[in-house]
């Protein structure tokens, strides 16, 4: 990186200037990125999008207020100019001579051990192209009435340095890869779209190890069932949500409400609910960044803190919030290693990492057998969430439950509800916890996360349909 030579001295000079100007905290985040994405449609790669970048973000705090400026100029002059602008947002100036409370940076915490080899192990463009086209060919082999076959791949290799006036000085390399398949099946006026996406962190050979044939078989089987499925009838009924990506509802409808950014805005209905019952006793929920290989796992967050495994809800009781540096200052909730950002041009904010409902004591079959008349949601699609947890999510693949057994496939279902009402209705959690990769957009940009859960039963929820 540009600041590799004498970086500590340069960073200490910048931070000392900010501290002498009267800032309570000065933080510098530097990154270098090497990214690429590919899209294959049918039997042709239609898009290849490489990108490279370097830059720094400087954030200063005075009391509960902060100023943030980003720059692509990593020279001492460029960093100094960014600092001056950030200080100016708070009415501070480097011309002021206050007591410099900065005692220097700690010894570098280097998390890059063995990670420099990743660049040589990830697939090159030609190998990536062949893997993606193999995936679309398998969709053609196993699919029927398939009009569009797609496969895609995205890779982000990022090197970061984080330094702050509390002594923080850390360096890391991150690698995140995601890939998947998608089909559109059609027959006359009937349509069905099914997709699966996978993702890992810190695993350079993950694409090479992908079983694209098995993925294609699963997707084509689901598409065939959904293509001719009847539309579901609207109403209130019990719902069984499958594991893995079923956890997207908890992530979107509840997880965001437990980030301190929501507390700062005053939009979380759970802001004063610590140590109070907000969910059924069956629910224990966790946010962490430590599961090996999971898409939301990190060695350090974007503020230089190692991730803490955070129990958000325990047996239905709210225990903790997801907090970053600003959240700790403004709300009093301790940092959890959750300060994350898309890149140097965003200030870090409290964001989820791997967020999931913990496994329970039942089997998935127990949940289905306990339901006389309901809906089984095997795969979730897109949706929307309001600022206080109101949500609606489409069901990509669903089946009716009759007398404790799965019956006819149905499509067109939408789950409609509100987090504070649905959490108490989660009555059973199965023992098959699994995670799924995803992306999350919020105040600090688009980041990689993991959602997850075991199969869960919601006793009653509104189903939108025809």
Residue 6 confidence (pLDDT):
62
Query: Strands (DSSP E) along 96-227, which ranges?
Result: 109-110, 146-164, 169-187, 190-201
Q: What pLDDT was estimated at residue 2? A: 42
Nearest CA among 434, 449, 407, 122 for reference residue 256: 449
The pTM assigned to this predicted structure is: 0.94
Structure tokens at 66: 């902060």
Question: How far, in Å, CA of 158 to CA of 267, rounded?
Answer: 33
Q: What is the CATH number of domain 115-158+172-229?
A: 3.30.160
Which H helix or E strand runs over 356? strand 354-357
Give the C-alpha separation, 302 to 25, whole Å. Answer: 15
Q: Which two tokens stand for residue 171?
A: 């360096």
User: CB-hemisphere CA count at 13 Å for 195?
Assistant: 17
**pLDDT, one tens digit for every residue, the chain (466 residues):** 344 546 899 999 999 999 999 999 999 999 999 999 999 999 999 999 999 999 999 999 999 999 999 999 999 999 999 999 999 999 999 887 777 789 999 999 999 999 999 999 999 999 999 999 999 999 999 999 999 999 999 999 999 999 999 999 999 999 999 999 999 999 999 999 999 999 999 999 999 999 999 999 999 999 999 999 999 999 999 999 999 999 999 999 999 999 999 999 999 999 999 999 999 999 999 999 999 999 999 999 999 999 999 999 999 999 999 999 999 999 999 999 999 999 999 999 999 999 999 999 999 999 999 999 999 999 998 888 888 889 999 999 999 999 999 999 999 999 999 999 999 999 999 999 999 999 999 999 999 999 999 999 999 999 998 7
> According to the model, what pLDDT value does residue 1 have?
38
> Residue 98's pLDDT is what?
77
Task: For strands 339-340 and 445-453, give the pairing.
Answer: unpaired
How far is Cα 42 from Cα 164, in angstroms, rounded to an integer?
49
Residue-range domain boundaries for the chain? 7-37+46-110, 115-158+172-229, 235-464
| Structure-token pair, residue 122 | 């990830």
């Amino acid at each position: 990186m540009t600041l590799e030579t004498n970086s500590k001295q340069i960073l200490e000079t910048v931070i000392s200037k900010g501290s002498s100007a009267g800032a309570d905290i000065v933080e510098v985040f530097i990154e270098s990125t090497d990214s690429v994405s590919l899209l294959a449609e049918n039997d042709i790669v239609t898009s290849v999008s490489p990108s490279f970048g370097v830059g720094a973000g400087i954030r200063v705090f005075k009391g509960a207020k902060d100023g943030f400026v980003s720059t692509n100029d990593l020279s001492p002059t460029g960093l100094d100019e960014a600092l001056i602008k950030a200080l100016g947002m708070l009415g501070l100036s480097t011309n002021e001579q206050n007591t410099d409370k900065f005692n220097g940076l700690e010894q570098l915490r280097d998390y890059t051990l063995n990670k420099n080899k990743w660049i040589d192990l990830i697939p090159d463009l030609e190998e990536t192209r062949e893997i993606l086209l193999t995936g679309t060919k398998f969709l053609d082999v196993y699919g029927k009435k398939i009009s569009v076959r797609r496969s895609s791949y995205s890779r982000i290799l990022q090197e970061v340095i984080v330094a702050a006036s509390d002594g923080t000085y850390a360096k890391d390399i991150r690698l995140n890869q995601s890939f998947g398949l998608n089909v559109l099946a059609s027959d006359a006026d009937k349509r069905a779209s099914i997709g699966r996406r996978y993702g890992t962190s810190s695993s350079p050979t993950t694409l090479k190890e992908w079983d694209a044939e098995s993925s294609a078989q699963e997707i084509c089987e689901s598409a065939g069932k959904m293509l001719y499925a009847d539309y579901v009838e609207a109403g209130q009924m019990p719902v069984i949500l499958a594991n893995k990506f079923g956890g997207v509802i908890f992530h979107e409808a509840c997880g965001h409400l437990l980030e301190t950014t929501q507390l700062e805005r005053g939009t979380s209905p759970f802001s004063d609910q610590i140590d109070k019952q907000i969910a059924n006793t069956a629910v224990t929920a966790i946010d962490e960044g430590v599961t090996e290989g999971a898409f939301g796992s990190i060695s350090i967050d974007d503020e230089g803190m190692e991730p803490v495994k955070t129990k958000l809800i325990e047996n239905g009781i709210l225990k903790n919030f997801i907090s970053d540096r600003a959240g700790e200052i403004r709300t009093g909730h301790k940092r959890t290693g959750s300060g994350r950002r898309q890149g140097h041009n965003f200030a870090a904010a409290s964001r989820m990492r791997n967020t999931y409902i913990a496994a329970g004591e039942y089997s998935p079959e127990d949940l289905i057998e306990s339901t006389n008349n309901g809906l089984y949601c095997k795969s979730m699609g897109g949706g929307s969430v309001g600022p206080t947890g109101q949500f609606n999510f489409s069901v990509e693949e669903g089946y009716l439950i009759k007398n404790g057994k799965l019956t006819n496939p149905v499509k067109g279902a939408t789950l409609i509800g509100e987090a504070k009402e649905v959490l108490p209705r989660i009555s059973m959690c199965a023992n098959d916890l699994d995670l799924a990769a995803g992306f999350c957009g919020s105040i600090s940009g688009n980041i990689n996360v993991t959602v997850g859960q075991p199969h869960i039963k919601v006793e009653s929820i509104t189903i939108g349909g025809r």
